[in-house]
Structure 1
Amino acid sequence: MKRYFLISAIILTGTELYSQKAEPLDTIFANEHKNVALFFPQPISQGITGASHFVFTHNRERQQHFGLLQAKPGKESNLLVIDAGGSVYSYILKYKKDLSRLNYFIQDTDRIGTEKRDLPDLFKEVEPIPLDIDTHYRNFCAYLLNKKGRIGRLRKRNQGIILSIENIVFNQNELYFVIQIENGSSLDYDVNFLNLSVKTRQKGKKKSMQSIVKEPIFRYKTPVKIKEGQCARLVYVFPKFSLSNDREVLLELNEEKGERDVVLKVSHRHINNPN
C-alpha cells in the first residue's frame, strides 16, 4: 500500500513539473545585478527592447544562440527577437529585485510568427534588415548612465571645472567611457571640444611625446553648454584597444573662447582592466 502511494506521488509530481514546462513563456524578469540568459533555437539576428532601462545584448559580429538581459527599476516593457531563420519572438519584460530564474531556453513553438513568407523560387530572397546599431548604442549608453559603478578616482579640476571619468566598460569588443563635466564656477561653460588621445609617456628631457587622437564611433549626450552649478554626463564609445606600459590616455576638455581647459590623464592600467 505504501509503495502504491509512493509511485502515485512520483507520477503526480512528474505530471506537475511537465505542465509547468509546457506553459507558454510570456514574461521575463531581470534586474541590474545579474545577467539573465536567453537561449534560442537559432542564432539571434536582431533583439530590441521597448525601453532604455532594459538592455538586451548579443554578438552581432558572429551570431550566437544566446543573448543577455539586464534591467533597471522602471515600468514594464517588451522584447522583440528575430533569429537567423526569420522566426519572431515577443516577450513582456519586468523588473524584479530577486530573481528565481536566470536561464530561459526558448522553444521553436514559442515563436509568434515569421519575418517573411516562403516565396517561390522565381522570386529573389530579400536579405534581412540589419539591426540599427545606433539604437543599440543609445540603449546601452542610457543603461550605463543609470548604473552605479566606478573604475576609480579619475578626475581633474581647473578654475571650478571638474572633468572626471566615472567608468570604463567593455561590451562586445567596444569600450564605453562614462564621463562627467561639472561646472562649479560662477560662469557658464561653452564646450569647444572633448577629445581622447593616446600618448607615449615622455622619458627623459630630450624625448618627444607622440599623440594620436582617437575618434569615437558613437557619442551620447555630448553637451554644448554647461550652466554654472550644473553638470553633464555623457558616454563616448570606442573600438576596444589596449595600451603598453609606456602609453597613457589623455582626455582633453577645451573651452570655446576661454582658458578653463582641463586635461585628465588615464594610465594604461585603467584602460586594460575595464569593468
Structure 2
Amino acid sequence: MPDDRLEIPSAEIAHHYPHLKPVMDKIPAIDHDAAILLLLGRDILRIHKVRKQYNGPNNTPYAQQLDIGWVIVGEVCLRGVHKPSSINVYRTNVLPNGRTSFLSPCASVVHIKEKFDKKTSSQIIQTSRETDLQEDYTEELGSNIFERTKDDEKIALSIEDKAFLAIMDKNVYMNDANSWVAPLPFRSLRSQIRVVFDSSAKYQGISLNDILLKGPDLNNTLLGVLIRFRREPIAVTTDVQQMFYCFTVCEDHRDFLRFL
C-alpha cells in the first residue's frame, strides 16, 4: 500500500465540489509530519460503518461520516491535475538572420539597404512574384464571380438612405404626451422659410419634397403580398391612418410646415 500524501483529501478539495461544502469544516488540515503507520481492515467492521453520506454527480468524490470522523472517498485531484509550486520556462529569441537562440538580440542594430538605379535580378524576381500574385488574384476573382448568395436579391442602402437613418437614429425621441417627435430630414439646412400648401409644388424649380431625404423603401413588394395571401384561409388588412397622429415634427422644423 503506497503512502502517497497527495491522495489525502483536504478542506480545499471539498471547497471545489458543491456537494462536499457541508463537510469543509469537518475535514482536518493535513499534517505533513504525521507518520502513516496503521491500516484499518475489515476485521474492525464498526470503523467502516457509514453513519451519514454526501453524494454527488458521477465520477466525483463523495463524503462519508464514520465513527472516527469524516472521510472523502474518490479522486481528489482537481480536474485530474495537481497545481505545481514552480514552473520552468525557456525563452527563445529569433535573431535578424532567422536563427533561434537563447541569447537576447542587440537592440542597437542598424540595417542598411542599397538602392539600385537599374533593374537588378532581385527586382526582376520581385516583379515576377507580384505578377504571380496578380494572376492568382485574377483566377480567384474569376472562380467565384458567379456564386449565388442569400443577399443577392436584397437592395443595398444608398448614401442618402444611410444619411436619413443617421438623422432619425440621432434625433427621434418620445415626448411627455407619448408621441414620437421627429425632425424633417433635410438634404441641406440652407432652405428658406415660405408658405407651402403642397409639398410637391415647385417654386423656382424647387419643392419641399426635393430637399427632404426619402429614406429607404421599407414597403413590402406587391408580389410578396399577393403570394402570402394564398398561405392561409383568412387574410387581414389594416389601416395605418391613426399612426400618423402618433408622430409630431420637432419644434425647430415646424415653421417649414406652417399654414397661414
Please report the TM-score for the alignment, with normalisation by the length of structure 1: 0.17
RCO higher in 1 or 2 (8 Å CA, sep ≥ 6)? 1
Greater helix fraction, Structure 1 or Structure 2: 2
Greater Rg, structure 1 or structure 2?
2
TM-score (norm 2): 0.18
Judging by fraction of residues, say which structure has more strand: 1
